[in-house]
Chain A
Amino acid sequence: MPMKLICAVKFVPDPDRLTAGSQGLILNPDDTCALGVALDVKSRDPGVTIEVVTLGPLSVRPHMEDLLRLAVDRGTLIWDPGLEDGDGFVTSRVLGRYIAGRACDCVLTGTHSLDGGSAQVPVQIAESLGLDQMTGVIRIDPDRFDRTRAVFQAMDETGVTIWEMAMPGVLSLTRESGYKLPYPALTDLRRDVSETLTLLTFRDLGFSAAEVGRAGSRIRVAAANPVTYGEKDPKIVGMDDEGITQVVDFLKKQGVC
């Protein structure tokens, strides 16, 4: 029987965006690789089904629709103003409960988030589902990836290791994997996919307001002390080789590079 894959993804602020108004979003690069490997698996076996689930604001809707214009079968956007300001624990619980209600052979996620996350969400999703999880995945062997097991390579600071894990499980990719999304066909770009995108709120998943958002978060902000920057002697350098050298030397001195 073909595999059922769920990709839990996050849309993060686009660091290259200069447009005014609402903040631009992109699919988190590690999560892009997670979806990329799922689509690669499906390209080898069209019977594989892929669902993408995310938790975020309604502004991610056009981005989710773009994913559905690839070979993704179903998308779910969990949104609600009450979810705002929730920590990773709340996010993990919400996503975990949603995924628990779906038939799934493997959950694919990114390892890190571009917007400075703590990389705890994939681990906590696995915990809530009672599944094994591995971070730093850079390659999944397509010939040894099925409903019972996955053989894959994972990278950490010591090097690359080949692992075998029983499925279902959670595999978290990194951008070093190089998996990319395919280009949508021009006709698909104009396709109405609204029917394959499901919008849910936390109440649809049986949560109360006290369990989500800031109220449900385990992390509390004890105090906030705004940083005050002292006036320093500004030094203006030219955009020439000499100026670049001065900037590099300065950054080195600061330990930045």
Chain B
Amino acid sequence: MDKEQINQTLGQLLSPSQVNTDTEDLYDASADRYKKYAKVRRVLDVPVPAAIVYPKTAEEVSRVLSFCNEHGVNVIPRAGKTATEGGLENWKENTVVMDALHLNQILKIDDYNMQATAQAGVPLQVLEDAAREKGLTTGHSPQSKPVAKLGGLVSTRSIGQFSTLYGGIEDMVVGLECVFPDGHIARIKNVARRSGGPDIRHIAIGNEGTLCYITEVTVKLFRFYPENNRFHGYLIKDMETGIQVLREVMVNGFRPSVARAYSEEDAAQHFYHFHQGRCVLLFMSEGPKGIVDATGDAIEAAAEKFKDGIIEPVDSNLIEDWFNHLNWSQKDIDDEMEGMKENDAHAGFTTEISADWETIPKIYNRVMQRIRQEYPRAHDLTLLGGHSSHSYINGTNMYFVYNYRIHCAPEDEMRVYHHPLQRIIVEETLRFGGSMCHHHGIGKFRNEWTREEHGSAYYMLEKLKQSFDPNGIMNFGTIFPQADGKKYQQ
């Protein structure tokens, strides 16, 4: 089938107005924020898809997927377009991008059973605003909240800034509806808990569009107590101190909604008005007043225990103000795009990994050492640091952040800068037994390490793919390594 035939059939399966073949929109649909610089400089090296389709119901999704499955047409599920790891990048000539634009209804906000049901294309901000009207919150607040949509958040196993209290999206999803390549529509019912075999929600959560298309999600709701919020901040001597205090709070059984430790460089980027060239440790506690007070006391006790590494406290108003302006909007994204047209620079990249408490400082130090010693373009780096921002009873994440002046052609940027830096981070993380992908998903550019990430359990992942997507039409190249995709990676 050629693109024309594909589009003709899509127009019959849906209505013509639901099939978009606009040249500029197709160019935009051929890559996500991973290749943002090449994209804005118009030097993308990947094929444009045949069309973008906008189904309105699960049945329409089913019809399109069945057609694509039968004719070997690649399908890329898409929602808020905030993907950062190449999950929305297209590597096939015959590709249909399935956008959740019209799946935009909040179906129910149930404040008695504390759960909300919404379609995949509902922006998280819209759902959060609706919940707030009832004094509730989803508890999910990634920086992309104003732009990201529920389908994408669930399919990429997203996490929010308040995860240390509320958990990641996988802890929030109660049930969902999804459609498989053969057209089967599966509904996972909404119950508080069950032991009905393996938890099949996790086949859909985090599948990154490689197994199914998520059409509807039910998430938990929580009471919102903004009046009780408390903030703590400290300038600290080093990252080790920060990790130690974070661990102390967590292992003592407390769950601040935010618990973060920033390296000097990363702190300078975020807290220009108070960092003083030091690492920064900060917390936010929320919830019922008694819990907040107890958590605040525990944070202060932990800081006291490690006082040798604490330089001085930071005014909590500064921390609160910073949190209130942390999210990035569509305007921020657009502004960055405009800036990249004129300047040989952008807002930088990140690679997020996780490991246990004991291992995270080892990975951090080793990565910093290797980049400074081995990376041939180290003199172009304008920022190299990291922060821990999501903690658990047994460990935490590390968000490596880096930026650089770009001294190469836009089409070479990833090869010269991001890829070699990310390679060092991933290699060291896997070598120490951590996970190479804490919350952005694997996407298309870390898939060369998917087997190593999962080890002997990769067998299970591979069987899922073979079972649910035997023809390999779902998001070619994402999560699962593909020989045909290497040309776009190197």
Q: B382: which A residues are within 8 A, CB to CB?
A: 14, 16-19, 24
A183 and B408 contact, Cβ closer than 8 Å, known pairs A14-B382, A19-B382, A20-B264: yes
Binding stretch for chain B, among A92-100, A109-117, A163-171, A184-192? A184-192
Q: What CA separation (Å) do A135 and B230 show in the bound complex?
A: 58
B409 to A, closest residue via Cβ:
A183
B208 within 8 A of A: no
B411 to A, closest residue via Cβ:
A186
Q: Which of B268, B315, B379, B416 contacts A18 (CB 8 A)?
A: B268
The A-B contact count (CB < 8 A) is: 63
Check if A18 sits within 8 Å of B385, measured CB to CB: yes
Q: Which of B321, B381, B407, B408 contacts A238 (CB 8 A)?
A: B321
Taking CB atoms and an 8 Å cut-off, the chain B residues in 306-333 that contact chain A are 315, 317-318, 321-322, 324-325
B418 within 8 A of A: no
B383 within 8 A of A: yes
A18 and B408 contact, Cβ closer than 8 Å, known pairs A236-B317, A239-B321: no
A63 and B409 contact, Cβ closer than 8 Å, known pairs A18-B268, A186-B415: no
1/0 per residue, CB under 8 A from B, across A1-26: the answer is: 00000000000001011111100111
B453 within 8 A of A: no
Q: Give the residue among A25, A63, A236 with the most B Cβ atoms within 10 A.
A: A236
Q: A26: which B residues are within 8 A, CB to CB?
A: 405
Q: What CA separation (Å) do A220 and B242 show in the bound complex?
A: 46
Q: Which of A25, A183, A238, A240 contacts B379 (CB 8 A)?
A: A25
A80 within 8 A of B: no
B412 within 8 A of A: yes
1/0 per residue, CB under 8 A from A, across B404-427: the answer is: 010111101001100000000000
A159 within 8 A of B: no
How many chain A residues touch B (CB < 8 A): the figure is: 23
Q: B408: which A residues are within 8 A, CB to CB?
A: 183-184, 186, 189
Nearest chain A CB to B146's CB is how many angstroms away?
16
Q: B407: which A residues are within 8 A, CB to CB?
A: 66, 183-184
1/0 per residue, CB under 8 A from A, across B367-381: the answer is: 000001000000101
1/0 per residue, CB under 8 A from B, across A223-238: the answer is: 0000000000000101
Show the binding face of B for A, using Cβ within 8 Å: 264-265, 268-269, 315, 317-318, 321-322, 324-325, 345, 372, 379, 381-385, 405, 407-410, 412, 415-416
**What would 8 more interface pairs be, CB under 8 Å, given A183-B408, A186-B416, A236-B317?**
A18-B268, A20-B265, A25-B379, A183-B407, A183-B410, A185-B409, A239-B321, A239-B322
List 8 A-B pairs, minimum CB-CB distance, nearest first.
A183-B409, A62-B379, A18-B383, A239-B325, A17-B382, A186-B412, A18-B268, A18-B265
Please, could you name 26 A-B residue pairs with CB atoms under 8 Å apart, sorted by A?
A16-B382, A16-B405, A17-B381, A17-B383, A18-B265, A18-B383, A19-B385, A20-B265, A24-B379, A26-B405, A59-B379, A62-B379, A183-B408, A183-B410, A184-B407, A184-B408, A184-B409, A185-B409, A186-B409, A186-B416, A189-B412, A189-B416, A236-B321, A238-B324, A238-B325, A240-B325
